[in-house]
A and B are shown apart, each in its own frame.
Chain A
């Protein structure tokens, strides 16, 4: 009888641990969720502001991340808004803190694993950190696009990747190609002189 009760007790504590693991988010994550840093928006038409909008309502996650870059190529401000679970909100809040004071290259080098580790994201929430990394990269890209800091090949590669992901209904491969080429052409027309200038910021 005594042995049986002990076994029951052990099973119970295992169950409780499992529940804690599922239910209890890390203190850091909860803090970012409850007191998110740098919430807000900047003027997206400002040439010094890069805006990244990633995710989709259908997936239950949308992040908007904005970076303001000064003349020395340093990120002097970052703002975000996120539609998503607590982990998505915390991931985006955390990256706004991390990228401030960084160069564009340093920001681009940020890896989702660092976010996941810092916030102790559970496995089902790793995609939130991936999305936050993508948001930073998208904002950096948008800034470089505005400033003409990309080569035509870089624009083409990026646009092709995006176009494949969000192909409109009934759009053929040729249509997608045409759309990508039009974007690249308009970019080179605007920044013709700087075509070969790559990330010098």
Chain B
């Protein structure tokens, strides 16, 4: 079998963007490209039956990861589709009940832009501000609820700052008020405990490639009791109980199932290990570089996330110093090509200077302590070098309050 090499090239610390596929997942998938190639919807012969049984096994595995029954799993092309289906599908189906939706300013673009599209159709959307440490509280949701609210969509964990929302508390509230709760659990599933029953979730989005599975396959959990109904986005042969037509991506789904099974089995030990890596990097950075700020709550946070601002150092120049050795991101992968600072960090109320100076480290299954040490040394060295180059750092050392300086914006 092909060896997956992570030793050549840069160290990969961008596991929130995507994860490398686990070789065990690839192994599970391979027969389904060639030998077991049937269409899972073919009911008349063994090729179809074999494919269907593989899909049903994967449905069980994915459901088990989030405490759901396999009957509640709808396979999709990924989390962007799942988020679109959940939000637009629920809004359209229940629009006679009300046309108000609650979400937040730190959601993934797939959620925010789905909500924006609904606004164009006449829905009203409330975009909640997070607390200073990046959490959406039950109280914030409660204050925004209206008589015509039909859907609340809040991420389980944030992709940039790794903060974990109190979804169980919000789920309880939504159940009491008879409002649907959708959660984008792409970053949380397989990393922290996710249980749709304990959290009273109605709809939940997943994707395989953030949990060491293949790209191009995701799932939407759709609650059966009480039954949640959706208007489908894609019409056709009526696959996936009519919610998502289209021939099933059997190898991808098999891989997703295997990835979910491994994630569930290894979660307790792996989350401790990732926390160790993160704390190791954080301590080395804090010991080596003064005036760094962790963005978002450290307590309610994914174990594998560190988002940190280096005051008076510009993030892109820091990235340039790190690029050859380590793959990290400044802002989210979707926005790092633009010159705008991250909208998530802005929503936390961070000043532009700190928002411009942040790096996101995402640790994953294949990272080691030795890699963390290499990265930590380089980050400390580079940040201090760029501080020496920074006129802002110099002014602060001279006791100048940067807020009193008359800047000439360009």
Besides A85-B314, A86-B317, A131-B410, 14 more A-B contacts (Cβ < 8 Å) are: A22-B337, A55-B407, A56-B409, A58-B351, A59-B409, A60-B316, A61-B410, A63-B391, A82-B389, A86-B316, A89-B317, A127-B410, A134-B410, A166-B406
* Interface residues as binary, B374-396 with A (CB distance below 8 Å gives 1, 0 otherwise): 00000000000000111111100
Complex contact B394–A84 (CB within 8 A)? no
Most buried by A among B317, B351, B402, B406: B317
The chain A residues found within 8 Å of chain B, CB to CB, are: 22-23, 25, 33, 36, 39, 41, 53-64, 81-86, 88-89, 124, 127, 130-131, 134, 162, 165-166, 168
Most buried by B among A22, A58, A62, A127: A62
Residues of A contacting B407 in the complex (Cβ-Cβ under 8 angstroms) = 55-58, 62, 166
Whether A85 contacts B317 in the complex (CB less than 8 A), given A63-B391, A124-B339, A165-B409, comes out as yes
* Nearest Cβ on chain B to A167's Cβ, whole angstroms: 9
* Nearest Cβ on chain B to A132's Cβ, whole angstroms: 12
Q: In the docked arrangement, what's the CA distance between A22 and B316, Å?
A: 14
* Interface residues as binary, B191-233 with A (CB distance below 8 Å gives 1, 0 otherwise): 0000000000000000000000000000000000000000000
Q: In the docked arrangement, what's the CA distance between A116 and B317, Å?
A: 18
B352 at the interface (CB under 8 A from A): yes
B334 at the interface (CB under 8 A from A): no
* Nearest Cβ on chain A to B101's Cβ, whole angstroms: 32
Complex contact B408–A81 (CB within 8 A)? no
Residues of B contacting A62 in the complex (Cβ-Cβ under 8 angstroms) = 391-392, 407
Q: Write the chain B residue with the least CB distance to A30.
A: B320
Residues of A contacting B356 in the complex (Cβ-Cβ under 8 angstroms) = 57, 60
* Interface residues as binary, B317-338 with A (CB distance below 8 Å gives 1, 0 otherwise): 1001001000000000000010
Residues of A contacting B303 in the complex (Cβ-Cβ under 8 angstroms) = none
Residues of A contacting B402 in the complex (Cβ-Cβ under 8 angstroms) = 57
B171 at the interface (CB under 8 A from A): no
Residues of B contacting A168 in the complex (Cβ-Cβ under 8 angstroms) = 406
Q: In the docked arrangement, what's the CA distance between A60 and B355, Å?
A: 9
Complex contact A84–B317 (CB within 8 A)? yes
* Interface residues as binary, B139-159 with A (CB distance below 8 Å gives 1, 0 otherwise): 000000000000000000000
Residues of A contacting B323 in the complex (Cβ-Cβ under 8 angstroms) = 23
Residues of B contacting A84 in the complex (Cβ-Cβ under 8 angstroms) = 314, 316-317
Complex contact B320–A86 (CB within 8 A)? yes
* Nearest Cβ on chain B to A139's Cβ, whole angstroms: 13
From B316, B390, B406, B409, give the contact of A82 (CB < 8 A). B390
Residues of A contacting B314 in the complex (Cβ-Cβ under 8 angstroms) = 60-61, 83-85, 88
Complex contact B409–A36 (CB within 8 A)? no
From A83, A88, A134, give the contact of B392 (CB < 8 A). A83
Complex contact B320–A85 (CB within 8 A)? yes
* Nearest Cβ on chain B to A110's Cβ, whole angstroms: 17
Q: Write the chain B residue with the least CB distance to A161.
A: B408
Q: Give 5 pairs: A residue, B residue, CB < 8 Å, sorted on A.
A: A25-B320, A56-B410, A60-B352, A83-B391, A168-B406
B313 at the interface (CB under 8 A from A): yes
* SS class, residues of chain A in contact with chain B: mixed
* Nearest Cβ on chain A to B80's Cβ, whole angstroms: 21
* Interface residues as binary, B217-252 with A (CB distance below 8 Å gives 1, 0 otherwise): 000000000000000000000000000000000000
* Nearest Cβ on chain B to A66's Cβ, whole angstroms: 10
* Nearest Cβ on chain B to A155's Cβ, whole angstroms: 16
Complex contact A64–B341 (CB within 8 A)? no
Residues of B contacting A89 in the complex (Cβ-Cβ under 8 angstroms) = 317, 389
Residues of A contacting B408 in the complex (Cβ-Cβ under 8 angstroms) = 54-56, 162, 165-166
Q: In the docked arrangement, what's the CA distance between A58 and B407, Å?
A: 9
From B313, B406, B409, B410, give the contact of A130 (CB < 8 A). B410
B353 at the interface (CB under 8 A from A): yes
Q: Which 7 A-B pairs have the closest CB atoms?
A: A56-B407, A64-B391, A57-B353, A58-B352, A85-B316, A81-B391, A86-B320
B312 at the interface (CB under 8 A from A): yes
Q: Write the chain B residue with the least CB distance to A57.
A: B353
Q: In the docked arrangement, what's the CA distance between A11 and B352, Å?
A: 39
Residues of A contacting B353 in the complex (Cβ-Cβ under 8 angstroms) = 57-58
Q: In the docked arrangement, what's the CA distance between A33 and B394, Å?
A: 19
Residues of A contacting B391 in the complex (Cβ-Cβ under 8 angstroms) = 53, 62-64, 81-83
Q: In the docked arrangement, what's the CA distance between A162 and B406, Å?
A: 9
B101-151 CB contacts (< 8 Å) to partner A = none
* Nearest Cβ on chain B to A173's Cβ, whole angstroms: 17
Q: In the docked arrangement, what's the CA distance between A88 and B351, Å?
A: 21
Q: In the docked arrangement, what's the CA distance between A193 and B390, Å?
A: 39
Q: In the docked arrangement, what's the CA distance between A86 and B382, Å?
A: 12
Complex contact B409–A60 (CB within 8 A)? no
Complex contact B389–A39 (CB within 8 A)? yes
* Interface residues as binary, B398-410 with A (CB distance below 8 Å gives 1, 0 otherwise): 0000100111111
Q: In the docked arrangement, what's the CA distance between A63 and B391, Å?
A: 7
Whether A41 contacts B339 in the complex (CB less than 8 A), given A83-B312, A85-B320, comes out as no
Q: Write the chain B residue with the least CB distance to A93.
A: B389
